[in-house]
Structures are given as C-alpha cells and as structure tokens.
Amino acid sequence: MRQTVVINILSENLDRGLKPSRWERWRPSVDLCRHEDLLIDRMVLLYRPGQEKLIAQVEGDIALVSPETLTECHLLAAEDPNQLGMVYQGLLRFAAAYPFSPAETDYYVHTTTGTQVEQLCLLKLTDSRHFPGRLLQSQAGSALPYGDPGEWSVINLDSSNLTQRPSKATDVHDDICDELRGGIEVESKSYTDTISQIATVCLATHDPIFLTGPMGIGKSELARRIYQTQKNRRKLTSDFHEVDCATIPGERAYAELFGAQGIFSQSQGGLVYLDDIASLSLPCQALLLRSIEQGHFRAVDENLQIPFDVQLILGARTDLRLAVRNGHFREDLWLKIASWRFDLSPLCERPDDITGNIDYALRLHMKSVGRRVQFNPEARTLFETFAKSPATSWKGNFRDFNAAITRMATFASLGKINREHVRQEIKRLKYVWTGSPAANVELSQLLDPQQLTELDRFDLVQLADVLAVCRESRSLSAAGRLLYAESRKRKRRPNDADRLRKYLAKFDLDWNAIPHR
C-alpha cells in the first residue's frame, strides 16, 4: 500500500505557541495532520538551530491530533533563511541525502510554512524533481471557528499557468540542457536545438525517445546523460541498461528482453537503451510495440504478466523509413517511436563544436591517466584547421575524434602536443578514412597537407576517384574516355584529354607526375 509523506519547513511565526492557548490559533504544520481527507503516514519536519523547543512542541502536538502519523525531524544548516543561495544549497543537500522512494510513496511538499525564500526554493526543487512530489498548500480561510483545521489543496506546476517564468539562471529546462551537454561548450545551433527539444521531452513525458545518427556520434553517451538527469530528479529509481540488438541472436532475443529474468523484467523503474533497433527481429518488434502500448507484457518463459515500467530509448544508425519500405521494420512500431525522434548530426557537419570537444577530450584524458596535457598554440591551430575542414570526414565521429586526442596526448611525453604530433595524427587519420589504399597514396603523394585541408569534401572524393582512374590508364586520352564516358557522347568533337588536363591543373597536378601501373 502506498504511503503519504509530507515535507514541511517549520514556521517561526505560524507554528509558534508553547502555551495551551496555542490550540485557539491555526497552525499549519499541526492542523495539516487533522484533515480527515488527507491521511499523512509520515511528516518530515525541517527546522533550524534555535527552534529546538518549538520543534519538540510541534512534534508532540502532531502525535496528539494524529497518532498514526510518524514524524521525522531534520536540522537544516545554520544559515540565514532569507538568503536565496544559502537556503537553496541547504535544501538541495537535504534532497540529495534523503532516501526518497517515489515508486512506493506519494510525496507532498508543504509550501505554506517557512520564509518566502524557503517557499520559493521548495517550488524550484519540486519543479526540478529533486523533491519527487507535488506541492501542497494550506490556508486558514476567514473567520475560522475554534477547532477548524482550515483548507488544503495541491498546486498544479504546469508552466502554462505561470504568469512569470523563472529567470534563466534558475530555469529547470536550462539546467537539464547543461546536464545533457555533459559540460561541453556547444556552438552548433542544430545540436543546441536538438538538446533543447530532448530536455523538454524529458520533463514532459515518459514516452520512448528515438535517437538516430551515424556510428560514434554519441547516442549511448547521450542516453546515459538522459538517465542521470531523470535519476537526479527521482523520475527513475533503478539502473541504466544498454543492449546492442545486433549482438543478440534471434532465438535468444525473446528470453533476454522479455523473459521473467530478462532486461525489461529486471529494469523496472530504470532506463533501457536499445542500440541498433533495426537488428531486432520482426516478432520482437511486435512484442515491443505491444508492451509499450499496454504497459505490460507476458514473460515468454513463464506465465507471468510483468509491468513494462521503463524509460525506453532507442538508437539507430540509419533512417528506418527504408527498412519499413523493405519490410525489415514494422511500420506500426516506426510510427510509434517516430513521435520523439531526434537526429544527431555527424561531427563533420558541426565544425563550430570542434573547439569545445578538444577541451572536453583533454579533460577526459587527464581524468583517465592523471596527467595534464595541452596543445602548443601552433599545434592547436594546425589541428583545429584540419578538424574543421570540409574535407575532413570524421567517419567514426567522436570515436575517431576522442581517439585522436588520446593518441596525441599519449605521445606528448612532456605534457605538450606539438606540430609533429599533429602531423603524424593527420597522416594516420587520412590513411584510415580513405576507402581505396591506392587513392590514399596518390593524394598524400601529390598534395601537401595544406592543400588537403583546404579541399571541400566533394572535391576530395571526386579527385581521389579521378586519380585512381589515371593510375590504371595508359594515357591521358584513355583516362578521359573513361571519366567522361557519358558526356562525350553529346559532343560533336570530344576532347577528353584536354578536359582532364584542365581538371588536374585546378589542383596544380600534371599527368606525368601521377604514378601509373
């Protein structure tokens, strides 16, 4: 059976009274426990130094009017109750240490007592889910007869009902955005907008969230940050579980996900991240959809009905619409999860975020090895120029990016990454990213590093293919005939050799300088 717990700050003025005449006044902390339509199992009383006699009296009076209500007394820090920063930090520390259990308990935060600053902080912390409950307000009304406990009501925290939004410094939405960014300075408008939308969804709903983006873009890391954000606000009470659907054989997927001891059974109140959701079999997709819509599922290995009480985040590398058209992904599941779909742009489309992520990767390295490493100014300029160039593909996204920073920091034995470290890393990355080893050799042999960094990605790919054809051709004309095979048909006098020669000249290249087989 669920319990009802009220968190209440003792009021020096409203709750005062050590003499018998105190019963002739309305005292919110005591009279709240007298309502027949509000059965309080536990009253959490917060008080400050100097209120020891008052808290003892209030605790005793609550025992008289409501013997079934247990009381807990917690001493707040000896801080000025009218100093916003001090009060907020004190209540935040209490919230972090208190063993909330929202899965079994209904919490109410009484905002009638305490100073106005304390009431404001309680509203903020309840809105942000540090106090996982609802706001409760009580009042004496007018011309109360003796013995009347007054009235009480629950406050709706719907932001649309507020006439004034909290300031930016205290806005819950902005707090969540900061947490989802993970301490990284983000400049890209597209990514900033995506994070802002995810923060809104995290506050408003428990529906599945669908993250799409190429490999290494950070979908699982973002899922962990979403989990931590909701865990901090007591919206989640259990653990984080990550499942790579591509690693689960079809015959085992049922048991591992929907068994009595499966992931969803063991993750009640937690978050489950299903990566590469397109690899899940069609029957499992059907069962997943039914579980989401019905809120429960029947364990496949036992005749048990189990609640589907998880925050679900799904990940995919590619657009699932093609898989839907090909019959490899269920359309009804796609329509269900597409409601909250967020596409994470590849790193090569977010050059403005390179600088912040360099600093973040260096912090991660320092945390991992306990050694501080920095770039020399010239080396940092060289690496940022390369990293932000449209010709730089970052095929593995942050997997490649963070690994590159780690390698350079590892070789920087004196704690400084120099230009030679950067040059070697650029050379290694270009070799790894080029699909054709032969084309990679041609580009690195024929163009200097500065030219490569200044090439658009479009030109880089096109030039690599042109050089690969030239390498295999006996003459300039033969290469031109292959490269202009279609357009030459529309010309009365095609001059393929001349067209190819002019194309190569754009990059200061000459046919005779190209190595041929």
pLDDT digits (tens, 9 = 90+) for 374-391: 999 999 999 999 999 877
Indicate whether 208 pLDDT > 80. yes
Sequence ranges of the domains in the chain = 3-163, 173-343, 348-433, 459-517
Residue 167 has, within 13 A of its CA and on its CB side, a CA count of: 3
Domain 173-343 has CATH 3.30.1360.30: no
| Of residues 361 and 144, more confidently modeled | 361
Residue of 253, 221, 234, 246 lying closest to 311 (CA atoms): 234
Three-class SS state of 37: coil
Whole-model pTM: value is 0.60
pLDDT tens for 90-146 read 898 899 889 998 888 999 999 998 888 899 999 988 888 889 899 999 988 655 555
441 confidence band (pLDDT: 50, 70, 90): very low
| Of residues 459 and 426, more confidently modeled | 426
Three-class SS state of 144: coil
Our measurement of the distance from residue 367's CA atom to the centroid of its chain's CA atoms, rounded to an integer in Å, reads 21
Which residues does 177 contact at the CB level (< 8 Å), separation at least 6?
195, 196, 199
DSSP assignment of 174-221: HHHHHHHHTT-----HHHHHHHHHHHHHHHH--S-EEEE--TTS-HHH
348-433 in CATH: which number?
1.10.8
Three-class SS state of 83: coil
> Cα-flanking dihedrals φ and ψ of residue 111, to 5°?
-100, 10
Q: Hey, do 3-163 and 173-343 end up sharing a CATH topology, with the first three levels equal?
A: yes
Alpha carbon distances (Å) from 275 to 252, 267, 285, 310: 16, 16, 13, 15
Residue of 133, 137, 58 lying closest to 103 (CA atoms): 133
**DSSP-H helix ranges across 205-339:** 219-232, 250-258, 263-266, 282-294, 320-325, 331-337
Indicate whether 36 pLDDT > 90. no
Q: What is the mean pLDDT of residues 279-294?
A: 93
| Of residues 47 and 474, more confidently modeled | 47
Domain 3-163 has CATH 3.40.50.10770: yes
Q: Are 426 and 493 in contact (CB under 8 A)?
A: no
In this predicted structure, what is the pLDDT of residue 169? 33
404 confidence band (pLDDT: 50, 70, 90): very high
First to last CA, the chain: 81
